[in-house]
Amino acid sequence: MKKKLISAQLRAARALLRWSALDLAQAAKVGVATIRRVEVLDGEIPVTAANEEALRRTLEAAGVEFIDDNGGGAGVRLRRGPRNSPRS
């Protein structure tokens, strides 16, 4: 079972991709208000399982890898290779 995403991972993933909240919302087919609402919170993002999966799938398809807490805290990194643009 995958660990729930935390807001810091979502913010960091967007920053790595240089995506706006609108870019992510459109690519994941979730509301931009949802993105903005969860990014200001600390901890696990309070969204439906379907929205969390859509966000995770979209970011992973764009090249983001989610790193579970391994003593240093949960995080994100970019896979090597090309990444997708939300605008293509």
Examine residue 55 and state whether it is found in any structural domain, yes or no. yes
Examine residue 52 and state whether it is found in any structural domain, yes or no. yes
CATH number for position 73: 1.10.260.40
- In the chain, DSSP assigns E strands to 64-67, 75-78
At 18-48, the pLDDT tens digits run 999 999 999 999 999 999 999 999 999 999 9
CA distance 35 to 25: 7
Q: Are 61 and 70 in contact (CB under 8 A)?
A: no
pLDDT > 80? residue 86: no
| Confidence (pLDDT) at 85 | 59
DSSP class of residue 20 equals -
In the chain, how many domains are there? Answer: 1
Name the band, by pLDDT with cuts 50, 70 and 90, for residue 81: low
Residues spanned by the domain of 65: 7-78
At 51-72, the pLDDT tens digits run 999 999 999 999 999 988 776 7
CA distance 29 to 56: 12
